Amino acid sequence: MSKRIIQREQVTSRLAAHILENGFEQTSLRNLADAAGVSDRMLLYYFTNKNDLLSSIILKIAAEMAVILAGAIPEVPKLSPLELFQQGAKLTMGTQLRPYMKVSIEISARAGRGEIPFAQLSQGMIDGFRIWIEARLETQDLERRRMEALMLLAMIDGLGVLSFAIDEDDLMKAMNALERTLAR
Amino acid sequence: MSKRIIQREQVTSRLAAHILENGFEQTSLRNLADAAGVSDRMLLYYFTNKNDLLSSIILKIAAEMAVILAGAIPEVPKLSPLELFQQGAKLTMGTQLRPYMKVSIEISARAGRGEIPFAQLSQGMIDGFRIWIEARLETQDLERRRMEALMLLAMIDGLGVLSFAIDEDDLMKAMNALERTLAR
DNA sequence: TAATTTTTGTAGCGATTGCTACATTCAAAG
DNA sequence: CTTTGAATGTAGCAATCGCTACAAAAATTA
């Protein structure tokens, strides 16, 4: 395998970690090159242009998130919406997955403005998360399971948005209220 | 009143409308100056720097949103969480308020990275929205009302995030599922 | 009218942006 | 050993960034 391909993979991984920690601001090619430990000249040798680079990073982040999710909660036994919310909310607010939620919401926000390449990649990330939820819900009826999955997705994303600006105390209140509503 | 103050106000209004439509990308001083119909030189005469300008715009957007919200649903009669969610979700997804929700989520996402001046202003916008919800909830107990308000806020923000990437059909499914859960 | 302050235009600085031209080194194939 | 293509460094271009120096015009005050 050519070194170019190998480097492309490694640089993508390093920059995925960098973006997860720092977000999409200050992502000039020179900044990213420093973060990846290569020269900016090489970045444009490994990737055709900045969009190609960003796309690779986002796809990598989505893939990593999928792996973490897959290993975090087994597909069996199936769970009720309440149980899945409890485990899912705790999971996505935890130290391991929170950076991914943060980036995911940033990507969604930019997708809402049609920014490239975010708009093209956002739907895939959300679909992945939704399918992960659906696979763990006990609900038999397909249509109803999809509805419940979308609902849980909205709840968890909503908690994520709130968590950026409110304190942990209020965040717990929001979580508890959602739990109690699902528990009725 | 000095012309400077007057212009400052008018430019803020025009740029608030511009940001509501286009978001915070491509917001160079020269772009904003064009959108406001003045020269970039004048922009820095009316405002001390770009942060000052952005802060003024965001505060203006928050104020406009507060006015729209205040007039959209009266404070009496008080509503149940279900009723307020139904009216609030319909409202925030409607043509008038949706741009404000979009910008609000963009600001939250940037606040999550500590970007200035977004981090400083995000909490105020969310607090305003939460207080608006609390003022319309029938729940007597203060603590419980706050919990319900935070829950509804998470639901509505979550719907907002989802709406950037999923189709209207799925968005309706999410809304209906949330409604049904609140209705139990 | 004269003096002073507020308002505006022109022009550009130094830094950063994405990206490229060009030359050189290196490793593998003949 | 020679040739050839891949890999990398140096240097820089044209565009854009936030911001400022400078001076002229316009309005206000004396």
pLDDT band at A20 (very low <50, low <70, confident <90, very high): very high
Query: Do the beta carbons of residue A179 and residue A86 sit within 8 Å?
Result: yes
Cis amide leading into B81 (omega within 30): no
Describe the crossing of helices B50-72 and B29-36 by its angle, rounded to 10 degrees: 50
Tens-digit pLDDT profile for residues B25-59: 999 999 999 999 999 999 999 999 999 999 999 99
* % of residues, chain A, pLDDT over 70: 99
* Residue B101 near residue B129 (C-beta atoms within 8 A): no
Question: Taking CB atoms and an 8 Å cutoff, what residues of chain A touch B114?
Answer: none
User: What is chain A's mean pLDDT, rounded?
Assistant: 97
Pairwise CA distance, residues B79 & A21, whole Å: 41
A59 has a pLDDT exceeding 90: yes
- Average pLDDT for residues A127-136, to the nearest whole number? 98
pTM (2 decimals)?
Answer: 0.95
Q: Which bases along strand D come within 7 Å of a protein CB atom?
A: 6-11, 16-21
Summarised one tens digit per residue, pLDDT across range B159-171 is 999 999 999 999 9
Instruction: Report which residue type is found at B41.
Output: R
Residue B150 near residue B84, CB atoms below 8 Å: no
State the CB neighbour count (10 A cutoff) for residue A162. 22
β-partners of residue B79 are B137
What letter represents residue B143's amino acid?
E
Does pLDDT of B1 surpass 70?
no
Mean local confidence (pLDDT), A56-78: 98
Q: Does A50 touch chain B (CB under 8 A)?
A: no
Cis peptide before A117 (omega within 30 of 0): yes
What pLDDT is recorded for position B184? Answer: 84
What's the average model confidence in pLDDT over A143-162?
98
> Chain A neighbours among B 77-136 (CB < 8 Å)?
81, 102, 105-106, 108-113, 115, 122-123, 125-126
Spatial distance between the Cα atoms of A152 and B181, rounded to a whole number of angstroms: 11
